[in-house]
Structure 1
Amino acid sequence: MKTTATLTAAIALMTGAPVLAQSYDVETLAEGLDQPWAMTFLPDGGDILMTAKGGTFLLYDAGSGEVSALDGAPDVSTAGQGGLLDVALAPDFADNNVIYMTWAGSVTGGTTTHLGRGTLDTEAGTVTEIETLFQVSPGIDSTAHYGSRIVIHDGHIYMGTGDRAFKDFGPDHIAQDLSSENGSVIRLRLDGTVPDDNPFVDTQGAAPAIWSYGHRNIQAMTLHPDTSEIWLAEHGEAGGDEINIVARGENFGWPLAAYGVDYRTGEQFAPTHQDADGFAAPAYHWGPGRDDHFPPSGMTFYDGDAFPDWQGHLLVGNLFQQYIGVFPVDGAQVSDPERVLDGAGYRIRDVAVGPEDGYIYVLTDGEDAPLLRLVPAQG
């Protein structure tokens, strides 16, 4: 099933938004998805593997336009923000059909984010041989802030985690605790073991999997196509959302340096990032204040040919304000975004660029959510 609607200058006129550098049409590829969370393209043909929060893998067949549920998934905890979360293909997927996935699951002490892998068999409609490679420690009695985006690069897997909504805004916050992987980016070999060159391998009491820390809730993560840096976007507290460039061993400050305010009181609880404060500053941020926020989910750099004026721009999904931010990027400098799909009423859960067509694929959020595709406007 595919339907097309023109959503270009008309929305700009209705909302007062600036006219975009690139006009586009919106195609609805599939409808009725139940809380989809992530997507990745399978090689050749444009098929898309997706996850649904309730604990199901979904396969979009580009030829027929049909979406089918696959058997086989890990046991997930779906309460709150939990569920089956991110998915990515192994670098040698063409040889072995191995996929990586993250999910929220039960452990001693509560729940936590899991990383695992399995084998995809599209003909049989199954994912088999699922094994757990890593569990974030410690498990916590919370249903929030699992983070959970993953990027595979150079023989390693990077996974962004969340702080599990830990509410102590002082130096004892779990994101500042190097003994815990909550509120961090972890770096592992593809078999789930810890590399010897991780920054805290030789630090007494530190979790050796940590690559960077001081993060709140990472729900967007991607690889820069030119520099091979890991970029991420994370939720702030009532404002203070950030785009960060991950660096080895760096502390990104949460919650000791932040642009948000306390959800409960509306008051600022920490200074904003300052020069020489010892924390890595964001490349871009929102806030301070609850009225200036961009809760991100899903991001990628645009590297296709269909929208040449967006070449090299960073695409970031926005849940609450319901648009895709298209951010100009110059080195480490990120400028204010154009707003794509602004006014269309979609919470954006994930965004990707088609490897064969250069179109922008958008996975929306909700219990009856569509999979969309943005193509250059006709006429």
Structure 2
Amino acid sequence: MKKKTWFGTAALTLGSCALLFSVSSNTLAQNLPEFTLETINSEISMPWGMVWLPEGDMLVTDRNGEIFRVSNGQIGDPLGGVPEVHTNGQGGLLDIVLHPDYAANGWIYLSYASEEGEGEGSNTAIIRARLDGNSLTDHETLYKGAENSMRGQHYGGRMIFDNEGYLYFSIGDRGDHFTNVQDLSRDGGKIYRLNADGSVPADNPFVNQDGARAAIWSYGHRNPQGIDINPVTGQVWASEHGPRGGDEINIAEAGKNYGWPYVGYGINYNGEPLAEATQGEGMEQPIWYWNPSIAVAGIAFVTSDRYPALQNHLLVGALRATKLELLEIHDDRVLRRTDLLTDIGRVRAVRQGPDGYVYLGIEGEGIKRLVPSN
């Protein structure tokens, strides 16, 4: 395990400097065990999402359009009945989650790039289906982003159920941030909340606003690539993939505006300024950001007894930085960041399994398990 002593520009800019140094005499980072990665399966080339069936088998989505069932580390033929996926740049077959009462109703939820609907190209769709043998059946479309676009970036697609049974999911700005993100009548650059059957909760923040998409929960996001529920507060936490700098962690709250593209901490990929400012009236600040960017992706809170030192803290996967980071959390604050493992490949997905271990989906490497080495 490689550790760094740099706390990041975000800690200083967001006013955490005093807090960081006040806890330095008794830090989690100084007492962490070493970790290693154990390979579970290396045959799945582009793992994007993973979930566990009650009998212990794992279902893993490959962005190229297939779902594999992993049993004791082995995979067989991909599942049948997978919807037609538009593999387009960052788009393809994305996340997978189970209904909280899966054992009773059998519903599996998928997000993917779909060509259904208006316009050429695709946009993010959310469906549910049931598993019959080795095939998906009983397909129901719950939500489909509009309009379609030929742009190959920023599909979002992360999903999570909260403790009350609501389904949250993200759709990125689809590469058209000045058109989509701040407009509540358009999809893109948003986090959404639905009931498990696809209906819109009556208390969603924009449900009674004329012209607004009733499913929207929060807006002003660029490309939320990770989402999880804080086990202490029950709040929705999301990682947001920024441009060249400005990756963020946000607490997604009802009706809040997180500023993109007018507020942000990154610059354009060509080096020119992008966001107009780092703060704006009526726009929320991230609770953490990275500059330079690590290309933040999947996140997961740790609750397992297998990692006593990590409990209730947040693990963050990084694509460009090819590492797994730990963010130490207290209430709604990030105290500090630490590299747990570096140079491990592009970490797309981070999930805690029912066996208490944390699993990583790494592009080109497959599925790996995080194991304390002492």
TM over 0.5: yes
| Aligned match of 1:376 | 372
Counterpart Cα distance in 1 of 2:168 and 2:104: 22
Distance in 1, matches of 2:276 and 2:68, equals 42
* Counterpart mapping for 1:91-102 below 5 A: 91-102=100-111
- Any unmatched runs of 5+ in structure 2? 5-28
How far 1:44 moved relative to its partner? 4.1
In the TM superposition, 1:1-379 aligns within 5 A as: 8=1, 21-45=32-56, 47-62=57-72, 65-68=73-76, 69-106=78-115, 107-110=117-120, 111-121=122-132, 124-153=133-162, 154-166=164-176, 168=178, 173-273=179-279, 277-287=281-291, 292-344=292-344, 346-356=345-355, 358-366=356-364, 369-378=365-374
RMSD: 1.8
How far residue 180 of structure 1 moved from its aligned partner, in angstroms, is 1.0
Contact 1:304/1:355 (CA < 8 Å) preserved in 2?
no
Q: CA offset at residue 194 of structure 1?
A: 1.4
- Give the letter for the 2:322 counterpart: Q
- Whether the 8 Å CA contact 1:242–1:284 is kept in 2: the answer is yes
Q: 2:351 aligns to what SS in structure 1?
A: strand
Distance 2:165 2:354 in 1: 21
Q: TM-score, normalised by structure 2?
A: 0.88
Q: Secondary structure at the match of 2:336?
A: coil
Q: 3-state SS of the aligned residue for 1:341?
A: strand
In structure 2, C-alpha distance between the alignment counterparts of 1:331 and 1:322, rounded to whole Å: 28
The question of whether the paired residues in 1 share the 8 Å contact of 2:3 and 2:340 is answered with no
2:342 partner SS: coil
Q: Secondary structure in 2 aligned to 1:337? A: strand
Tell me the secondary structure at the aligned position of residue 113 of structure 1.
strand
Give the Cα separation in 1 of the matches to 2:363 and 2:37. 16
1:133-158 per-position Cα deviation (integer Å, ceiling 9, x unaligned): 11012222322110010111213211
1:235 shift after superposition: 0.8
TM-score for both structures, normalised by structure 1: 0.87
Structure 1 residue 283: Cα displacement: 0.8
Q: CA deviation at 1:273?
A: 2.3
Conserved 8 A contact 2:184-2:211: yes
1:374 CA drift (Å) = 1.4
Give secondary structure in 2 for the equivalent of 1:33.
Answer: coil
Deviation at residue 202 of structure 1 after TM alignment: 1.4
| Cα deviation, residue 325, structure 1 | 1.1
User: Which residue identity is paired with 1:270?
Assistant: E
Q: Describe the SS at the equivalent of 1:236.
A: coil
Q: More deviation in 237-246 or 135-144?
A: 135-144
Query: What is the CA distance between 1:21 and its match in structure 2?
Result: 1.2
Specify every segment of 5 or more residues in structure 1 that has no aligned partner in the other structure, as ranges. 1-7
Checking the alignment, whether the CA contact within 8 Å between 1:302 and 1:310 is kept in structure 2 is yes
| Secondary structure, aligned partner of 1:309 | helix
How far apart, CA to CA, are the structure 1 residues paired with 2:50 and 2:248? 22
Runs of 4+ more than 4 Å apart: none
Identity %: 38
Number of the residue aligned with 1:4: none
SS at structure 1 position matched to 2:104: helix
CA contact (8 A) 1:73 1:130 kept: no
Contact 1:301 1:313 in 2 (8 A): yes
Secondary structure in structure 1 of the residue aligned to 2:309: helix
SS at match of 1:101: strand
Could you tell me how far 1:35 is from its partner in structure 2? 1.1
CA contact (8 A) 2:265 2:275 kept: no
Cα-to-partner distance string for 1:273-321 (whole Å, 9 max, x where unaligned): 25xx21111110122xxxx112122111011112211111101110100
Deviations 1:221-256 (A, max 9, x none): 001112111100011111101000010000000011
SS in 2 for 1:148: coil
